[in-house]
Amino acid sequence: MSAVWSELAQAAQQLAPISDTARLDAELLMAHALGVTREAMLLRGLEGEAPEGFAALLQRRLNHEPIAYITGTRAFWTIDLEVGPGVLVPRVDSETLIEAAILHFGERAPWRILDLGTGPGTLLLAALDNWPEATGLGVDASETALAYARRNAMRLGIDRAEFRLGDWAEGIEARFDLILANPPYIGTAEQLPPEVRDHEPGEALFAGADGLDDYRRIVPELPRLLAPGGIAVMEIGYTQAEAVSALVAQHGLRPAVTRDLKGLSRVVTAVEL
C-alpha cells in the first residue's frame, strides 16, 4: 500500500461516480481501517502508510454498501450509534425531529418520551441524551433493531430507556409528553439508490403505494397517547406535508410543518387544539 494521502485521493476518484460525498466516504473508511477517528487521522497527518485492510473496505463501498454498515457506527445529534444490516441508517435529516421537539419545549423538558419505530434507538436515545431527567419507551416490530437499540443504550450509559417489541402504538396505554416517529414513508413504486434499496430493510422504508399507510395507523392513536401540553413529532417525505397534516387535523389535533436544512418539508408536528 502507498501513503494514506495517495490512497485517499485514488479512492475518492473511484467513489465519485456512486457517491456525492466521495472524499468523506474515503476518509471514514481509511480512519476505520486505521482504527482511529476521522478527526484523529486528519490531525496526525496523512503521510503514513495506508493499512492493507483499506482496499477491502473500499470495495464494499464500491458495491454500494452503506458507509455506516461498513464502519458499524453512525453519528446522530450528540451521540454515536452502533448500526448494521437489519436497521435503518440514521440520517442527518432526522435531526430535524429533535430540533422541533426542543423548540416546542423551550426551557421545559418532557418527562416521558415515546419513540414509535425506534430502530437502533436513534431518536429516543438522542432525546434522552438531550433531556437527562426524562425516561422513554422505544417500540419496534424488529427484534434485530431492538437488539441494536439496547446495545446502544448500554454503550451510551442511558438506563432510562425501555425497548419493547410491538406494532406501533398497539397495547400502549400511558400518555407521553413527547412522541417521536420516523415511520416508513416511501411508496412501493418509488426508485431508491442501490445502497438503500439493496441493503437497508424494506420494512423500514416502504409504506404502501402512496407511502402513507403507517401514518394512517399512527395518527389516530395520538390523541389518546399525548399528555396535556405534549407534542407528537413525525418525519415525512418532503412531498407528504399536506396529506399528513390533513390526517392530523382530521383526528382533532393541530398540525404544523418544519423544514430541514435543505428547506424541504421534513416534519409534521401535532398538538392539542
Condensed to tens digits (0 to 9), the pLDDT of residues 92-125 reads 999 999 999 999 999 999 999 999 999 999 999 9
CATH number assigned to the domain comprising residue 249:
3.40.50.150
| Phi, psi for 148 (deg, rounded to 5) | -60, -45
Q: Are residues 197 and 101 in the same domain?
A: yes
Which residues span the domain enclosing 45? Answer: 4-63
Q: How confident is the model at residue 166 (pLDDT cuts 50, 70, 90)?
A: very high
| Structural domains counted in the chain | 2
Q: Which three cell numbers stand for residue 112?
A: 416521558
State the Cα–Cα distance between residues 76 and 214, nearest whole angstrom.
24
Give the residue from 63, 93, 109 where a domain finishes: 63
With the C-alpha atoms ordered 137, 143, 148, 153, is the resulting torsion angle positive or negative?
positive
CATH number assigned to the domain comprising residue 45:
1.10.8.10
What does the pLDDT look like over 214-266, one tens digit per residue? Answer: 999 999 999 999 999 999 999 999 999 999 999 999 999 999 999 999 999 99
With the C-alpha atoms ordered 203, 204, 210, 216, is the resulting torsion angle positive or negative?
positive
Q: Are residues 205 and 120 in the same domain?
A: yes
Q: Are residues 218 and 154 in the same domain?
A: yes
Is residue 169 situated within a structural domain? yes
State the Cα–Cα distance between residues 90 and 17, nearest whole angstrom.
23
Instruction: Using CB atoms within 10 Å of the CB of residue 77, give its burial: 0 to 12 exposed, 13 to 18 middle, 19+ buried.
Output: buried
State the Cα–Cα distance between residues 108 and 35, nearest whole angstrom.
40
Is residue 242 situated within a structural domain? yes
Q: Are residues 164 and 228 in the same domain?
A: yes
Q: Are residues 55 and 90 in the same domain?
A: no
Residue 245 Cα distances to 92, 215, 238, 269, angstroms = 23, 10, 12, 8
For the segment 165-176, the average pLDDT, to the nearest whole number, is 97
State the Cα–Cα distance between residues 35 and 227, nearest whole angstrom.
45
